[in-house]
Amino acid sequence: MVSTLSRHRRKRRNPSVSDSRVPLRRRFLVCEPRHFAVQYAINPWMHPDTHVDVDLAQEQWRTLIHAYEAHGHSVDAVEPVPGLPDMVFAANSAVVVGGRVFGSLFHAPERRPESTHYDLWFKKAGYDVQRPQAVCEGEGDLVWTGRYVLAGTGFRTTREAHREVQEFFGHPVISLTLVDPHLYHLDTALFVLDENNIAYYPEAFSPGSRAVLAQLYPDAVLATRDDAMAFGLNSVSDGRHVFIAPQAEALALRLDDHGYVPVPVDLSEFHKAGGGIKCCTQEIRS
């Protein structure tokens, strides 16, 4: 991808367009994939007979952490727990806005114990944690845009949880219905580029939800299903740099056209469990 992007930038009419994009320093919470495995099936990507190369997963994960740190972001880590193979997917643990933490209540019983360990980390770090009453899977389905929360539903997080989140944070929550089982979390179908724009795959959403997104973000970067299936929308942006799966080359080129700087990081071993870069990354917003 890097060479393709380089050639693309040389052909672009205004190669300095990215100079207007200002990165904001982020604080991320992650969990080492020491116990990562595919031991059960709770989404279409997962097959219990799939072999996971744990050494490769750890190497890919460390590459992601190094990429974050090289771009000026700080990274904290939760200690992984044996018997919780999906704990590496830190994004599902909570959503943090304005220093307030709204925790998780997983749909799958296999993942519910993860919440206790993340809650404990947040409490030790000095945060109060609000426990949801309805099924809620953190940043997997709840995306803070800087103005409101985009909230996914259809497969995991419920609309009842959306109402809880609005009451807790006091910010508008916009419910969006997901319709593609492979894109079961909002963060597989959409990500925030900056406070003014997003990238998303329209057909991942119901017609009404597509209409809402088109009104809110008329200049959004639109992705294809191929982009989404390559985990290109499970990306993390700091407003300038976009940490993205190298398999989503076409989306990276479109982002480059819009002045963002793709930073390819291969987390393909985690695709076996239906996760990628964003799934492994919880953002702590103070």
Strand runs labelled E in 201-246 = 221-222, 236-237, 241-244
Q: Which residues of 1-23 are buried (b: 16+ CB within 10 A; e: fewer)?
A: beeebeebbeeeeeeeebeebee
pLDDT band at 20 (very low <50, low <70, confident <90, very high): confident
19-23, 73-77, 146-150, 240-244, range with the lowest pLDDT = 19-23
Structure confidence by residue, pLDDT tens digits, 159-173: 999 999 999 999 999
| Domain edges within the chain | 27-283
In angstroms, rounded to a whole number, what is the distance separating the alpha carbons of residues 51 and 45?
A: 13
Q: What is the mean pLDDT of residues 9-28?
A: 75
Q: What is the mean pLDDT of residues 57-79?
A: 98
Q: Does 1 have pLDDT greater than 80? A: no
**Is the dihedral angle over the CA atoms 244, 122, 103, 59 positive or is it negative?**
positive
Q: Does 12 have pLDDT greater than 90? A: no
Percent share of the chain, pLDDT over 70:
94
Q: What is the pLDDT of residue 227?
A: 98
For residue 177, list its beta bridge partners: 153
Q: Does 187 have pLDDT greater than 90? A: yes
In angstroms, rounded to a whole number, what is the distance separating the alpha carbons of residues 255 and 235?
A: 12
**What are the φ/ψ torsions at residue 10 (nearest 5 degrees)?**
-65, -30
Structure confidence by residue, pLDDT tens digits, 204-237: 999 999 999 999 999 999 999 999 999 999 999 9
Q: What is the pLDDT of residue 75?
A: 98
Q: Does 3 have pLDDT greater than 80? A: no
Q: Over the chain, what is the mean pLDDT? A: 95
Q: Is 125 exposed, middle or buried (0-12, 13-18, 19+ CB in 10 A)?
A: exposed
Which residues contact residue 71 at a Cβ distance below 8 angstroms, ignoring those fewer than 6 apart? 23, 238, 241, 263
Q: Does 197 have pLDDT greater than 90? A: yes
Domain range 27-283, CATH class: alpha beta
pLDDT band at 85 (very low <50, low <70, confident <90, very high): very high
Active site residues: 185, 279
pLDDT band at 7 (very low <50, low <70, confident <90, very high): low
pTM above 0.75, yes or no: yes
HSE value, Cβ hemisphere, 13 Å, CA-based, for 59: 8
* Radius of gyration over every alpha carbon of the chain, rounded to an integer in angstroms: 18
Q: Does 28 have pLDDT greater than 90? A: yes
- Helix (H) / strand (E) element for 134: namely none
Q: Does 19 have pLDDT greater than 90? A: no
Q: Which residues of 82-108 are buried (b: 16+ CB within 10 A; e: fewer)?
A: eebbbbbbbbbbbbbbeebbbbbbbbe
At 218 the three-state DSSP class reads coil
1-15, 187-201, 250-264, range with the lowest pLDDT = 1-15
